[in-house]
Structure 1
Amino acid sequence: MTRIAFLGLGHMGLPMAANLVKAGHEVHGYDLVPAAVEAARTVGIPIADSGADAVADAEVVITMFPAGRHVIAAYQDELLAAARPGTLFIESSTIAVDEARTAHRLAVDAGHRNIDAPVSGGVVGAEAGTLAFMVGGSDEDFEAARPLLEVMGRRIVHCGGPGLGQAAKVCNNMILGISQIAVAEAFVLAERLGLEHQAMYDVVSQASGQCWALTTNCPVPGPVPTSPANRDYQPGFAGALMAKDLGLALQAIEQTGTDARMGRLAQQIYAAFADGEGAGRDFSGIITSIRSLP
């Protein structure tokens, strides 16, 4: 049994923490949102009075925050000072590569260990314990974290040194954002050509256009009963989060001077979607914006 502090108990963090509890670990949580706190208590996770209280006796600290600035501020303001020397910090938020490296440096300078371990798989994967973890950090720290990651995920990949888990995540989500737009555009084109959704799905899901954005996150109701399209695009993974992740991709594109025109265009499309109807809808709901275009 490992004593774990889990900070950030939202749509992703709570089921991840709950799976750790089910596996027999001692988990203490913290979140600023009252609804998240109440939800955590209903699954048997005790809530600390502060982040510092949560980490004080922990062997491992897992953070799942909205953005890199929250991670760095929490590390600097209270978490690193309150934790016992040598605590392993697992940073599972999706943040910029340079922010992950800053967090790593802060943790190490304070006498702790740190890996970046962002996830893929959405809420469904978090609930089922089938997430993919992309990990950046030392071999030793990766092996120390692996047993806990394997409780929460099915695919655990050590991508290299500090920040390279986030590098893998930003590249993965750029592919995902682009492919979700492509699938949505293809379904709208099929509609206007008179092709029924099920026929379109039956062909493409077994052809060269097959992809996760189609077979798991199908943007039209019907063909994939578990897709967000069948629950009025309730996330899932919200359009605002995809816009944020593509913003991180754009930042990396510009920093590296990469010619990534599709990535830039996807970022623009999702930024507009998030500024309008897509902020609280699943990112597959981008199809509604595409339909509205002449």
Structure 2
Amino acid sequence: MSGTVAFFGLGNMGLGMAANLAAKGYAVRAFDLSEAALEKAEAAGCHAVPAAPDALEGAEMAITMLPAGSHVAAVWRETLFDRAAPGSLLIDCSTIDVATARELGAEAAARGFDAVDAPVSGGVAAAAAGTLTFMVGGSDAAFARARPVLAAMGKAVIHAGGSGAGQAAKTANNMLLAATMVATAEAFLLAQKLGLDPQRFYDIASVSSGQSWSMTSYCPLPGVGPESPADRGYEGGFASALMLKDLRLAMEAAQAVGASTPMGARAAELYEAFAADPARARLDVSAIIHALEGAAP
């Protein structure tokens, strides 16, 4: 499948995603407020446009990859709903609150658009490599239409359910990641204090009941397990500030539905304190290990 895509948001994630669409044969009309981002998009095979409405010229679908729900709502309500071609496919790949995702999905349907919320998992490296996982909320028809577009940017495209279900899945997933990362860091620090070699502990725990993705794919200690941000000074991964944003969304969602999330709440407290320091906020989520050991990375 190919066609013309209007792409809004060329940050660390969006740029790689737009580039992969262009590489797969889509005509990508890209917009961002950053001139530098537009230049990078042009170099990656996209057609950079100077204003948001220009991105919709000739487009059958639009993708947003923006920082927060307020930004997504503004673009959808002020640009897409008024200017997108009738019957266009609208895809939001941002991580936003479930309520806003459901509101926008309902408003889009009322205007005759197919719309899905499709937040991603995988981080900047996966966005650049085209190996993201998409968790998709929307009708069966909208999902069927969005699937080939999303597959051009990822390795897995999973229909989570109706409108907002993609955001619900992302919120719960990232809360789980935060909690397991904290627990993994705690376990490695405890093992060290008990005299265990970190690699030996990894060799045991990675094939035992304590195994988790946070350990076997993203170990918070450098030199242990597969290469991870810990081996690069905790640079170039999933920024702690972004994890904090997701945890705040999770806590808001939990409060809204009366869910008990004591582990998620404690993880949110730890990342809140850790990311309060701007120098640490940009570091990967696995750098939380330094908050637990009381040493600067």
For 1:26, the equivalent position in structure 2 comes to: 27
* 1:72 corresponds to: 73
Q: Give 1:179's aligned residue.
A: 180
1:290 maps to 292
What secondary structure sits across from 2:259 in the alignment? coil
Cα distance in 2 for partners of 1:272, 1:78 equals 37
Map of 1:167 onto structure 2: 168
- Contact kept? 1:235, 1:283, Cα under 8 Å: no
- Which amino acid counterpart does residue 206 of structure 2 have in structure 1? S
Within-5 A mapping of 1:250-289? 250-276=251-277, 277-289=279-291
Write the distance in 2 (CA, Å) between the matches of 1:54 and 1:215: 41
Task: Let me know the Cα RMSD of the aligned residues.
Answer: 1.4
**Inter-CA distance 246–150: structure 2 relative to 1 (3 Å threshold):** same
Does the Cα contact within 8 Å between 1:133 and 1:155 map onto a contact in 2? yes
TM-score normalized with structure 2 length: 0.94
* Unaligned residue ranges in structure 1 (runs of 5+): none
Farther off after superposition, 203-212 or 66-75: 203-212
Secondary structure of 2:280's counterpart equals coil
- Residue 102 of structure 1 corresponds to which residue in structure 2? 103
Q: Secondary structure at the match of 1:281?
A: coil
Residues 230-261 of structure 1 show CA distances to partners (whole Å, capped at 9, x for unaligned) of 11111311101100101111011101111111
Task: With the length of structure 1 as denominator, give the TM-score of the two structures.
Answer: 0.95
Output the amino acid matched with 1:100.
Answer: A
Indicate if the aligned counterparts of 1:104 and 1:162 stay in contact, CA closer than 8 A.
Answer: yes
The SS at the match of 1:12 is helix
Query: Which secondary structure state, in structure 2, belongs to the residue aligned with residue 158 of structure 1?
Result: strand
Equivalent-residue separation in structure 2 for 1:108 and 1:285 (angstroms):
42
Runs of 4+ in 1 over 4 A off after TM superposition: none
- 1:153-232 equivalences under 5 Å are 153-232=154-233
Q: Any idea what the Cα deviations from partners look like across 1:189-238, whole Å, max 9, x if unmatched?
A: 22222322222221211211111111111111112453001111113111
CA distance in 2 between partners of 1:35 and 1:236 (Å): 21
> What do residues 68-88 of structure 1 show as CA deviations (whole Å, max 9, x unaligned)?
011001112223212111111
Partner residue of 1:114? Answer: 115
What amino acid does structure 2 have at the position aligned with 1:167? A
Distance 1:230 1:224 in 2: 10
Query: What amino acid sits opposite 1:209 in the alignment?
Result: G
Bigger Cα displacement from structure 2, 102-111 vs 127-136: 102-111
Letter in 2 for 1:148: V
SS of 2:234 mapped into structure 1: coil
Give unpaired runs (5+ residues) of structure 2: none
For residues 100 and 278 of structure 1, the distance between their equivalents in structure 2, rounded to whole angstroms, comes to 30
Whether the 8 Å contact between 2:254 and 2:261 is mirrored in structure 1 is yes
